[in-house]
Amino acid sequence: MGARPLLNRRLAGMGTTIFAEMSALAVATGSINLGQGFPDTDGPAEIAQAAADAVLNGRGNQYPPGPGIPELRTAIAEHQQRFYGLGYDADTEVLVTAGATEAIAASLLALLEPGDEVIAFEPFYDSYAACIAMAGAVRVPLTLRQPAFRPDLDELRSLITPRTRLLLLNTPHNPTGTVLTPEELATIAEIAVEHDLLVITDEVYEHLVFATGHHPIAALPGMRGRTVSISSAGKTFSFTGWKVGWVTANSALIAAVRTAKQYLTYVSAGPFQYAVAEALRLPDSYFDTLRANLGRKRDLLADGLSAAGFQVFAPEGTYFITTDITPLGEKDGLEFCRALPERCGVVAIPNIVFYDNSDAGRSLVRFTFCKKDAVLAEAVTRLQQL
């Protein structure tokens, strides 16, 4: 095939995702997988039953409507109203996608021109860099630095140029667990309005916030018409394999995102859409219990990691803990994570792969705590051998 690389230059160097690499390593070595974020306990049985019933009763087995089934779009609109007082029209302002991953891809592909600049918090969730690249746009990192991992909003202002088109937010933030405060969001909103920027906000961990509460930027003055809000059923209902996500935004933005989305998957997950419509209407007690259980697991793993000698940065949200391995006499998180399964039978994620400024993330390693208590306890015992 000659000297020309097969993979196009926009994706050059992106290789295999760290999640695929580390989960394969966990399987190959029989290690406890605290790497890729997926629960080891499925979501509510009645929701699983609703999916099974939908398959057996022929609901959603053929192509669902392009924007998603009306039952799910209505449930998403109700959810935004119930939790945040945000009103969206289920027919024109809601779009169902193949997970948040497709929502992110379709939004970036729809809204960016080649050469546009996108400011995003670094460390970036991995698909952001890839999708910005596929759109031919340029990512501009705003680095969240340890120990607090808060955005420097003066620095944000300084990163804006005439080519800046959008801000890509993620709150609660993977992998640091930072949850943006109302004050931070208000300043970001002010900057977006002042510079007439679009905002895409990835809120897949919206229900995994321990004390502070989640605040959607779409609710702030001037933001409703410029914000594309993204979430998904994976984290909230512990069915990461179903890949049901959604976008809420005004009808012009939804029409743009839908245009890209219809050529990515067209539609997906027909029967699961019926089940997620039910899940979104679960009582408050479901969401409270999810949060309380994960809060307890967070403390269990954080204490264990501290006892094992890691520097622990307690997350405000998500089901991830970022640690620094420097106190263990280690420097390089990637090397550390590649060796960890052999050394003690545990898998983790090196945060460095989410950075452009490698130095800011070199010694940081992420562990997930969405696992059974006994599994977390065993992982901690193993890590204490280090």
Distance CA 375, CA 314 (A): 19
Residue (294 or 380) nearer to ligand PMP, CB: 294
Residue (54 or 349) nearer to ligand GLN, CB: 349
Tokens representing 330 are 């280690």
245 binds, among ligand PMP, ligand GLN, none (CB under 5 to 8 A by kind): ligand PMP
93 binds, among ligand PMP, ligand GLN, none (CB under 5 to 8 A by kind): none
Q: Which residue has the tokens 């679009």?
A: 198
Residue (107 or 174) nearer to ligand GLN, CB: 174
84 is a site residue for ligand GLN (CB under 6 A)? no
Distance CA 271, CA 187 (A): 41
99 binds, among ligand PMP, ligand GLN, none (CB under 5 to 8 A by kind): ligand PMP
Helix extents (H) in 148-198: 153-159, 182-194
Distance CA 94, CA 80 (A): 10
36 binds, among ligand GLN, ligand PMP, none (CB under 5 to 8 A by kind): ligand GLN
Q: Which of residues 184-223 bind ligand PMP (CB under 6 A)?
A: 202, 204
Q: What angle do CA 160, 121, 321 make, to 5 degrees?
A: 165
Site string for ligand GLN, 22-41 (x = CB under 6 A): --------------xx----
Residue (308 or 369) nearer to ligand PMP, CB: 369
Among 378, 329, 373, 319, CA closest to 349: 319
Selected range binding ligand PMP among 4-12, 83-91, 237-245, 338-346, rule: CB under 6 A:
237-245
64 is a site residue for ligand PMP (CB under 6 A)? no
- Residue 340: CB minimum distance to ligand GLN, A: 16
* Residues whose CB is less than 8 angstroms from the CB of residue 207 and which lie 6 or more positions away in sequence, other chains included: 214, 235, 236, 287, 290, 291
| 289 HSE (CA, 13 A, CB side) | 9
**Nearest residue to ligand PMP, by Cβ distance, number only:** 99
Phi, psi of 358 (to 5 degrees): -55, -35
Residue (125 or 336) nearer to ligand PMP, CB: 125
Q: Which of residues 264-303 bind ligand PMP (CB under 6 A)?
A: none
- Residue 370: CB minimum distance to ligand PMP, A: 11
Site string for ligand PMP, 141-170 (x = CB under 6 A): -----------------------------x
Phi, psi of 297 (to 5 degrees): -65, -35
Counted residue by residue, the chain has a size of 386
- Residue 270: CB minimum distance to ligand PMP, A: 16
Total of chain residues touching ligand PMP, rule CB under 6 A = 13
Binding-site member from 245, 317, 333, 341 for ligand PMP (CB under 6 A): 245
43 is a site residue for ligand PMP (CB under 6 A)? no
Q: How far is CA 25 from CA 13, 105, 263, in A?
A: 20, 27, 33
Binding-site member from 76, 100, 247, 257 for ligand PMP (CB under 6 A): 100
Q: Which of residues 147-176 bind ligand GLN (CB under 6 A)?
A: 174
Q: Which of residues 101-120 bind ligand PMP (CB under 6 A)?
A: 101
Residue (36 or 171) nearer to ligand GLN, CB: 36
- Residue 215: CB minimum distance to ligand PMP, A: 16
The answer for 60, left when phi > 0, alpha when psi is -120 to 50, beta otherwise, is: left
319 is a site residue for ligand PMP (CB under 6 A)? no
Interface with ligand GLN (CB under 6 A): 17, 19, 36-37, 174
Interface with ligand PMP (CB under 6 A): 99-101, 125, 170, 174, 202, 204, 232, 234, 240, 243, 245
